[in-house]
C-alpha cells in the first residue's frame, strides 16, 4: 500500500494546481447550501451531484483517499483518483445554467434597453467570467513542458539517422549510450538500436511496468553522463596545472575521471557500440579529441552548431 | 501523409458503422433514439473490446503483431458489416411500414436563435482548434507513460511482451500479468502496422485526436441528456454546454489528472481516456438508463487501465450514481 507521506505529497501537488476543481467544489457547495441553485441544476441531475460530491469528499479526505488509492492500484498516483470524478461535466452544467439564465434575462429585457448598463453589461459580464476562467489553466501553453520529451526532436531524429547509417546492415542491434533525451527517444522510434538503459532507470513513475532491474554497475555510467548533461564535466577547458594534486599519477587519474576516459572505457567494455555526447559551441574540443585518441574512437558531429551531439565509435 | 489520412478515415468510419447497428438494436429494445455521437462513441468502445479479444488470443498463442492485426481486422470487418447490414434491414423494414417518425422530428425542430448560433460556432472553432493542436503532436507529456516504446516494440514482430520496451532485451523477470492484458498498445500498433506509420505518429498524433473526438461525442451526448428537447431553449443550452466544455478544457489544463491536460497532452493514455471519454459517457448512459453502454464503459476501463480487481473507478462512479438515485427515491417515497 502507498505510504501516507507519498500520498500527501501527491495530494498537495494536485490541490495546489487543479484550480478548476475548486470551482467544481464551489458549485457543489452552492447547490448544497442554496435551494435555488439546486433547483436550477435540475432535479434529475441530483444523483449526479450527490455522487460527484461524495466521491470528491472521499478523494479530499486523506485516509479515504489512501483507501481509494489502494483500490485503484497504487501504481497510479493521487491525481489519477480525480479521473473518476466528473469535474468538467458538472462545472460545465452549473456554468451553462448560469450563462443561460443571464442570457435569457438579457434577451427579454436588456437587449432592447437604451441604457448602456442594461444593454451591454450582461454580455460583458460573461466575457469577463470567461477570461477569469482562463486563469484556472494555461490553455496548452506551459503545463506540459515539464512532462515533455526532453531535447529537440529534429536533432534527435538526425542523430538517430546518423547512428543507423553507421551501423552495418544485418549486424546485431548496436548498443547506444548517451544523455537522457537520447535514451528516451531511441526506443520510441527504432528497434534497430538498443539503449544501454531505458527511461525507467531514472524515472520512478515507470517502476511498476516490469519486475526487471538494472545492474548496479550502470549507476556510475548514468551518473557520469548525467554530469555531462549538466555540463559539469567534459565541456570546459580544464586547467590541469591548478589541480590540487602534485604527483603525475594523481593528475592523470583526475583528468581521466573528468574527461570520462574511465567511464567511456567501462561503457565500451559493457558492450556499448556508440557513445553519444552532447555537443555545443562551448564544448572543449581538445578534451573530446583527447578522449577519442585515448580510446581509439572515431568522432562524428551531428548538428553541433545547434546544441547537437558527437557520436563516438570504434 | 496519405497513410495517415487513410488511417484517420478508417477511424472515422469503422466506429460509426459498428455503433450504428448496436445503437439501433438498443433503440428497438428500449424505444429510444440514439444520436450520431452515441453511435460513434459506442462503436469506438466495441472496436476496442474486439481488439482486446484479438490481443488476448495473440498473447495466448504467443504470436506477434501480424497475427493480432489479422485477427482484429477480421473481427472489426465482421462486426461492422453485420452491424451495417442490420441497420440496412431495419431501415428497409421501417420504410415498408412507412414510419412517419422522421417527418415529426423535422417539424419539432425550432430554428436556432442568434445566441445558439454564436455559441455553436464558438464551440466548433474551439474544438477544431484543440484537435489541430493535438494533431500537431508537439505538446505531448510522456512522464509516467511508456506507450510509444511499447508500441514500437510490438512493431518489431516479436511475440507480445517478451521484450523489454526500454532496453530491447528479453525480459528477465517479466512484467505483471495484469499489464499484459491492457489493449491500448496493441490497438495503436495495429494502426501503425496496417498503415506503415511510425509508432510516435500513431500514439502522439492520430490516437489522441481519435479519443478527443470520442470525448466530445460523450459531451454532446451529455448535453442532450442534461438539456433534452428540440425547442429553442434546449438547443441554446446544449450549444452553451458544448462551448463551455471546450472552454473549460483550456481552463483546466494545469497538471496531469485534469481534463484539459488529459485531452491536450496525454490523450493516448488509459487514465485520460477514462476521464475524458468514459466518465461523461457513463453519466449520460446512466441518466438515459442505457445500461449496456454503462457496461461497455466499465469493461473498457478494465482493459485500458491497471485495476486491482479488474474493475475500476468507473464502476465506483456507477455504483455511487445508483446509490444516490436509490437514496433520493427513498426520500421521495417516505413523506407519502
In this model, does residue B213 exceed pLDDT 90?
A: yes
| CA pair distance A48, B136, nearest whole angstrom | 35
pLDDT along chain A (314 residues), means of 10: 73 77 86 81 86 91 86 78 88 90 80 71 86 81 78 90 81 88 93 90 80 83 82 50 55 62 86 86 73 85 84 86
Looking at chain B, the whole-number percentage of residues with pLDDT higher than 90 is 59
Residues B264-292, mean pLDDT to the nearest whole number: 93
Q: Is the pLDDT of residue B95 over 80?
A: yes
Residues A133 and A189 in one domain: no
Cβ pair B59, B186 in contact under 8 A: no
Q: Which region among A178-187, A270-279, B104-113, B322-331 has the lowest average model confidence (pLDDT)?
A: B104-113
Looking at the fold, whether A279 and A205 belong to one and the same domain comes out as yes
Spatial distance between the Cα atoms of A79 and A94, rounded to a whole number of angstroms: 23
Instruction: Select from A17, A48, A140 the Cβ nearest to the Cβ of B283.
Output: A48
Point out the residue among B115, B178, B257 whose CB comes nearest to the CB of A82: B257
B94, pLDDT greater than 70: yes
At A95-143, the pLDDT tens digits run 998 888 888 888 777 666 667 777 778 888 889 988 888 888 787 777 7
Whole-angstrom Cα distance, residue B226 to residue A95? 13
- A residues 153-192 closer than 8 Å to B (CB): 153, 173, 184, 187-191
Q: Which of A66-80, B79-93, B222-236, B297-311 has the lowest mean pLDDT?
A: A66-80
Does residue B172 carry a pLDDT above 60? yes
Per-residue pLDDT at B200: 93
Output the pLDDT for position B246. Answer: 94
Q: Read off the pLDDT of residues B176-187 as tens digits, 9 standing for 90 and up.
A: 888 888 999 999
In this complex, the residue of B165, B168, B261 whose CB is nearest that of residue A173 is B168
Give B251's contacts in chain A (Cβ within 8 Å).
20, 133-137, 139
Residues A133 and A165 in one domain: no
Mean pLDDT of B265-270: 92
**Residue ranges of B 120-179 with Cβ closer than 8 A to chain A:** 133, 138-144, 146, 148-149, 152-153, 155-156, 164-169, 171-176, 178-179
Backbone angles phi, psi at A140, to 5 degrees: 80, 5
Burial class (CB in 10 A: 0-12, 13-18, 19+), B216: buried
Give me the pLDDT at residue B324, please.
93
Region B210-235: mean pLDDT is 92
Q: Which residues of A touch B221 (CB under 8 A)?
A: none
Residue from B305, B327, B96 nearest A53 by CA:
B327
Phi, psi of A298 (to 5 degrees): -90, 155
Helix, strand or coil for residue B141? strand
Same domain, A37 and A126: yes
Q: How far is CA B290 from the centre of its chain?
A: 16
Query: Which pLDDT score, from 0 to 100, does residue A21 have?
Result: 84
Task: For the sheet with A274-278, list strands across it.
Answer: A194-195, A175-177, A274-278, A309-313, A298-302
For chain B, positions 219-278, list CB contacts with chain A under 8 A: 219, 222, 226-227, 233, 236-237, 240-241, 244-245, 247-262, 264-266, 271-272, 274-275
Q: H helices within chain A, ranges in order?
A: 4-17, 19-33, 35-41, 46-60, 62-71, 78-81, 87-108, 116-134, 153-166, 180-189, 217-229, 248-259, 261-269, 285-294
3-state SS, one letter per residue, for B177-197: HHHHCCCHHHHHHHHHHHCCC
Domain span at residue A192 reads: 153-313
Instruction: Say what the pLDDT of residue A242 is.
Output: 47
Using 50, 70 and 90 to split pLDDT, how confident is the model at B231?
confident
Of A143, A141, A102, A144, nearest in space to A19 by CA: A143
pLDDT band at B110 (very low <50, low <70, confident <90, very high): low
Same domain, A61 and A191: no
Are A177 and A238 found together in one domain? yes
Q: Which backbone phi and psi does B251 adopt, to 5 degrees?
A: -75, -20
As a whole number of angstroms, the longest Cα–Cα distance in chain A is 94
- Of the two residues B100 and A201, the one the predictor is more confident about is A201
Residue B171's pLDDT is what?
85
Number of domains in chain A: 2
Confidence check: pLDDT of B163 > 80: yes
Domain ranges (residues) in chain B = 2-333
DSSP codes joined into one string, B202-222: IIIIIHHHHHHHHHHHHHHHH
Q: Rounded to whole angstroms, how far apart are CA atoms A262 and B203?
A: 39
CB B214 within 8 A of CB B41: yes
Domain closes at, from A110, A145, A180: A145
DSSP 8-state class, residue A99: H
Instruction: Clarify whether residues A252 and A132 are in a common domain.
Output: no
Same domain, A171 and A141: no
| Beta carbons of B308 and A70 less than 8 Å apart | yes
Task: Return the DSSP state at B290.
Answer: -
Contact B265 A194 (CB under 8 A): no
Q: What is the pLDDT of residues B11-68, one digit of tens each?
A: 999 999 999 888 888 888 877 888 899 999 999 999 999 999 999 999 999 899 999 9
Question: How far is residue A12 from each of residues A17, A257, B113, B251, B263, measured CA to CA in Å?
Answer: 8, 41, 45, 20, 23
pTM of the complete model: 0.89
- Mean residue pLDDT of chain B comes to 89
Res A137: pLDDT: 77
- A117 and A172 housed in the same domain: no
Q: Which of A223, A226, A238, A212 is closest to A277 using CA atoms? A: A226
Least confident residue range of A249-253, B139-143, B190-194: A249-253
Question: Which 3 state secondary structure label does DSSP give B248?
Answer: helix
Choose among A136, A153, A209: nearest Cβ to B251.
A136
Q: Is the pLDDT of residue B247 over 90?
A: yes
Burial A124-156 (b: 16+ CB within 10 A, else e): eebeeebeebeebbbbbeebbeebebebeeebb
C-beta of residue A229 within 8 angstroms of C-beta of residue A180: yes
pLDDT of residue A283: 67
Cα distance between the two ends of chain A: 48
A232 in contact with chain B, both atoms CB, cutoff 8 A:
no
Q: Is the pLDDT of residue B335 over 70?
A: no
Write the ipTM: 0.89
Closest among B328, B222, B211 to B269, alpha carbons compared: B211
pLDDT of A236 reads 41
Same domain flag for A160 and A306: yes
Residue A173 in contact with residue A191, Cβ under 8 Å? Answer: yes
Q: Which residues have C-beta within 8 Å of that of residue B77, sequence separation ≥ 6?
A: none
Amino acid at each position: 500500500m502507498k505510504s501516507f507521506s507519498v500520498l500527501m505529497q501527491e495530494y498537495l501537488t494536485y490541490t495546489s494546481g487543479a484550480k478548476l476543481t475548486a470551482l467544481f467544489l464551489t458549485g457543489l457547495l452552492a447547490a448544497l447550501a442554496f435551494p435555488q441553485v439546486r433547483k436550477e441544476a435540475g432535479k434529475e441531475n441530483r444523483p449526479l451531484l450527490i455522487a460527484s460530491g461524495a466521491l470528491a469528499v472521499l478523494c479530499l479526505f486523506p485516509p479515504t483517499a489512501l483507501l481509494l488509492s489502494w483500490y485503484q492500484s497504487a501504481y497510479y498516483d493521487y491525481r489519477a483518483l480525480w479521473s473518476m470524478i466528473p469535474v468538467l461535466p458538472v462545472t460545465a452544467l452549473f456554468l451553462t445554467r448560469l450563462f443561460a439564465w443571464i442570457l435569457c434575462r438579457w434577451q427579454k429585457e436588456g437587449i432592447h434597453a437604451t441604457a448602456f448598463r442594461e444593454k451591454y453589461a450582461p454580455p460583458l459580464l460573461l466575457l469577463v467570467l470567461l477570461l477569469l476562467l482562463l486563469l484556472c489553466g494555461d490553455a496548452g501553453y506551459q503545463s506540459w513542458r515539464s512532462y515533455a520529451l526532453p531535447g529537440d526532436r529534429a536533432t534527435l531524429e538526425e542523430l538517430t539517422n546518423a547512428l543507423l547509417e553507421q551501423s552495418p546492415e544485418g549486424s546485431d542491434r548496436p548498443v547506444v549510450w548517451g544523455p537522457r533525451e537520447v535514451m528516451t527517444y531511441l526506443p520510441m522510434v527504432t528497434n534497430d538500436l538498443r539503449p544501454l538503459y531505458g527511461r525507467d532507470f531514472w524515472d520512478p513513475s515507470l517502476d511498476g511496468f516490469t519486475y526487471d532491474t538494472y545492474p548496479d554497475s550502470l549507476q556510475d555510467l548514468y551518473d557520469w553522463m548525467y554530469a555531462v548533461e549538466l555540463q559539469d564535466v567534459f565541456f570546459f577547458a580544464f586547467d590541469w596545472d591548478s589541480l590540487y594534486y602534485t604527483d603525475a599519477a594523481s593528475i592523470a587519474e583526475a583528468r581521466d575521471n573528468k574527461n570520462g576516459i574511465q567511464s567511456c572505457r567501462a561503457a565500451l567494455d559493457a558492450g556499448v557500440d556508440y557513445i553519444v555526447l552532447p555537443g555545443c559551441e562551448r564544448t572543449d574540443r581538445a578534451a573530446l579529441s583527447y578522449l577519442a585518441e585515448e580510446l581509439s574512437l572515431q568522432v562524428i558531429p551531428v548538428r553541433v552548431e545547434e546544441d547537437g551531439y558527437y557520436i563516438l565509435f570504434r | 501523409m496519405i497513410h495517415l489520412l487513410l488511417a484517420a478515415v478508417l477511424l472515422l468510419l469503422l466506429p460509426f458503422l459498428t455503433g450504428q447497428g448496436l445503437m439501433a438494436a438498443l433503440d428497438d429494445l428500449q424505444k429510444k433514439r440514439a444520436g450520431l455521437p452515441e453511435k460513434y462513441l459506442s462503436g469506438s468502445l466495441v472496436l476496442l473490446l474486439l481488439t482486446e479479444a484479438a490481443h488476448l488470443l495473440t498473447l495466448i498463442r504467443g504470436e506477434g503483431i501480424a497475427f493480432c492485426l489479422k485477427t482484429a481486422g477480421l473481427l472489426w470487418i465482421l462486426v461492422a458489416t453485420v452491424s451495417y447490414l442490420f441497420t440496412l434491414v431495419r431501415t428497409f423494414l421501417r420504410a415498408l411500414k412507412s414510419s412517419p417518425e422522421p417527418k415529426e422530428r423535422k417539424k419539432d425542430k425550432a430554428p436556432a436563435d442568434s445566441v445558439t448560433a454564436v455559441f455553436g460556432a464558438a464551440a466548433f472553432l474551439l474544438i477544431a482548434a484543440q484537435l489541430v493542436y493535438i494533431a500537431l503532436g508537439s505538446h505531448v507529456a510522456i512522464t509516467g507513460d511508456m506507450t510509444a516504446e511499447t508500441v514500437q516494440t510490438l512493431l518489431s514482430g516479436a511475440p507480445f511482451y517478451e521484450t523489454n520496451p526500454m532496453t530491447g532485451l528479453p525480459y528477465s523477470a517479466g512484467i505483471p500479468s495484469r499489464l499484459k492484458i491492457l489493449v491500448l498498445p496493441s490497438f495503436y500498433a495495429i494502426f501503425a502496422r496496417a498503415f506503415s506509420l511510425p509508432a510516435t505518429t500513431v500514439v502522439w498524433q492520430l490516437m489522441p485526436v481519435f479519443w478527443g473526438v470520442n470525448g466530445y461525442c460523450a459531451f454532446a451526448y451529455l448535453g442532450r441528456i442534461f438539456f433534452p428537447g428540440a425547442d429553442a431553449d434546449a438547443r441554446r443550452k446544449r450549444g452553451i454546454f458544448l462551448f463551455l466544455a471546450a472552454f473549460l478544457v483550456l481552463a483546466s489544463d494545469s497538471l496531469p489528472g485534469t481534463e484539459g491536460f488529459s485531452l491536450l497532452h496525454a490523450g493516448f493514455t488509459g487514465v485520460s481516456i477514462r476521464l475524458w471519454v468514459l466518465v461523461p459517457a457513463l453519466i449520460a448512459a446512466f441518466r438515459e438508463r442505457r445500461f449496456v453502454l454503462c457496461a461497455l464503459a466499465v469493461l473498457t476501463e478494465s482493459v485500458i487501465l491497471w485495476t486491482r480487481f479488474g474493475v475500476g473507478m468507473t464502476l465506483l462512479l456507477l455504483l455511487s450514481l445508483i446509490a444516490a438515485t436509490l437514496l433520493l427515491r427513498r426520500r421521495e417515497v417516505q413523506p407519502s
